[in-house]
Amino acid sequence: MKWQSGRRSDNVEDRRGMSVGRGGASLGCGGLILVIAISMIFGKDPRELLQLIQQTQGPSSSVEAPVPGGAPGAPPTDELGDFVSVVLADTEDTWTPIFQSIGKSYQPPVLVLFSDAVESACGFTSAATGPFYCPADSKVYIDLGFYRDLRDRFGAPGDFAQAYVIAHEVGHHVQNQLGISAQVQRLEQQSSERDANALSVRLELQADCFAGVWANHAQTQRQMLEQGDVEEGLNAAAAIGDDRMQKSAGQRVSPDSWTHGSSEQRVQWFSTGMRTGNIRDCDTFGSSRR
């Protein structure tokens, strides 16, 4: 990606100098692995289990720790943090005019960089759950160590693969701003567990499509992509498909327990957004495709 000359966002909050501890017993690495394993077996969001554990522990405390990004809470100064800031700025430059074209005002999210664990308006969350968006505070949260896992564990290296992860989470913010997330939540409350899970998957696939819309505009308007970037993005989308992750964990592929969609679905919808650049083509709910 040709990102070095890009604009930096003012909406990055670097908390990597702050480690969040709990007043009660610590889960530890083994405990986190157990939480992830239980979540995958029962098809649950690991954040729900972590928040349940949180309720049995005392209040949180924060202590500062050395971090390459500079002072805790300040804008990032390291190269990877700088890269994240540029990608976030580019999503702002994409979604602001798109919202204007449909008569709406885009309020960009804040992106929080953290290490190991973080407190958000959605509760206490471990880095083991991966990047996430919290609609309660309109913030995207990411431990940049996830990129190491993306490269080494999932086999999806490259800066555009990293940008895709950010664009997907920003896609959830777009859904929140457009009222899509609230509509889906209401439908989920009226649906069976199986149907509610299917709605959740379609919400995730739409966020993939919205990430593709960003990629389209980043290239057609600002020529940010280089040779091989598209392949990196598609590889990342495929690498974190639920079916591939279940297989890698030695589990039976069970679509009813999926949370984000299969590799094929994620690639399909990311490709759709990237090909057309039009949010109207991202109707994963009305489409017969899943």
The answer to whether the CB of 178 falls within 8 A of the CB of 206 is no
Q: How confident is the model at residue 86 (pLDDT cuts 50, 70, 90)?
A: very high
The closest alpha carbon to 208, from 110, 253, 137, 274, belongs to 274
Residue 68 lies in a domain: yes
**pLDDT per position as a tens digit, 136-177:** 999 999 999 999 988 988 888 899 999 999 999 999 999 999
pTM of the model: 0.80
Residue 5 lies in a domain: no
Strand partners, 124: 119
The answer to whether the CB of 229 falls within 8 A of the CB of 160 is yes
Residue 80's domain comprises 12-282
Specify which of 67-81, 182-196, 255-269 reaches the highest per-range mean pLDDT: 182-196
Number of other residues whose CB lies within 10 A of the CB of residue 210: 29
Residue 201 lies in a domain: yes
- Tell me the CA distances in angstroms from 70 to 35, 64, 159, 255, 262, one per residue in order: 32, 11, 22, 43, 38
Instruction: Give the amino acid at 157.
Output: P
Residue 290 lies in a domain: no
Q: What is the pLDDT of residue 59?
A: 43
Q: What is the pLDDT of residue 273?
A: 96
The first and second tokens of residue 3, run together, are: 């990102």
Q: How far apart are CA 113 and CA 147, in angstroms?
A: 12
Q: What is the pLDDT of residue 55?
A: 47
Residue 7 lies in a domain: no
H or E stretch at 14: strand 12-14
Residue 171 lies in a domain: yes
Residue 232 lies in a domain: yes
- Three-state secondary structure call for residue 282: helix
- Tell me the CA distances in angstroms from 185 to 198, 203, 290, one per residue in order: 12, 10, 19
Mean pLDDT, all residues of the chain = 82
Question: How many domains is the chain partitioned into structurally?
Answer: 1
Mean pLDDT of 76-82: 90
The answer to whether the CB of 123 falls within 8 A of the CB of 60 is no
Quick one: 12 exposed, middle or buried, by C-beta within 10 A (0-12, 13-18, 19+)?
buried
Q: What is the pLDDT of residue 184?
A: 93
Quick one: 117 exposed, middle or buried, by C-beta within 10 A (0-12, 13-18, 19+)?
buried
**pLDDT per position as a tens digit, 193-213:** 888 888 999 999 999 999 999
**pLDDT per position as a tens digit, 41-78:** 555 565 555 555 444 444 444 433 444 544 545 678 89
